[in-house]
Amino acid sequence: MNYILNIDTAVETASICIAKNGESIALRTNPYQKDHAAWLQTTIKDLMSETGLHLAQLQAVAVSAGPGSYTGLRVGMATAKGLCYALQLPLILVNTLQMMAVAALQEPTNLLCPLIDARRLEVFTAVYDKQLNEVMASKNLILNESSFIELLQKNTITFFGNGSIKLQSILQHPNAVFKNIEATAIHLGFLSFQHYQTRQFSDIAYSEPYYGKEFYSPEPKKKL
């Protein structure tokens, strides 16, 4: 049996899942974004106790690597790296947008478009087909009424995620479908098992989150 610990702290609701051969056997979620750091460690301990497993029985640790919340990504990545280093386990990184697309695979549209709010009219987004191939690569995008028009001319697209609310207010097209779809670490587990089978592991020392854009901190004003 292949047990993988899956960690997602990229968006507002954090989640942790233990999956056996890609199927969830235990899941916990936390909707309070500011509490993710304090919540994560104790919840992992609780999940292991709940399932009767020991950390030594894990085959890998997977984490949603972004894009998403800067602080959340750092918290999830640091935890995953620490566990992998201590337990000598492989580290698996999964794009957060692809994880979200897994949650929408049952939608009847041709394409799937997760959107993560990045403030103002900006979002992190990508477009996937039903085989989870990238039709549009992950990027940060400033939304306008022409966004996705070329793809919508020939495809039906399901838009979802907390950034889709912004798009829905400015985009009207008969091929655009807007849904409230929640992705959790269960969907991360689906992808991490595939990565494990094909040995798509990441370097523990040098792996970093994918922020989608540079973290910006304004320079302090110079004193006169």
Let me know if residue 49 belongs to a domain.
Answer: yes
Q: Is 43 in the same domain as 114?
A: no
Let me know if residue 203 belongs to a domain.
Answer: no
Q: Structure pTM? A: 0.91
Amino acid at 64: S
Amino acid at 95: N
More confident residue, 218 or 78: 78
What span, in angstroms and rounded, lies between the C-alpha atoms of 96 and 211?
Answer: 10
Summarize pLDDT for 140-174 with one digit per residue, the tens. Answer: 999 999 999 999 999 999 999 999 999 999 999 99
CATH number at residue 9: 3.30.420.40
Domain count, the chain: 2
Strand ranges in the chain using DSSP code E only, listed in sequence order:
3-8, 14-20, 23-30, 60-64, 91-94, 111-117, 122-128, 134-142, 157-160, 176-178
Distance of CA 59 to the CA centre of its chain: 21
What span, in angstroms and rounded, lies between the C-alpha atoms of 211 and 83?
Answer: 22
197: pLDDT strictly greater than 60: yes
139 is in which domain, residue-wise?
104-178
What pairing do the DSSP bridges indicate for beta strands 157-160 and 176-178?
parallel
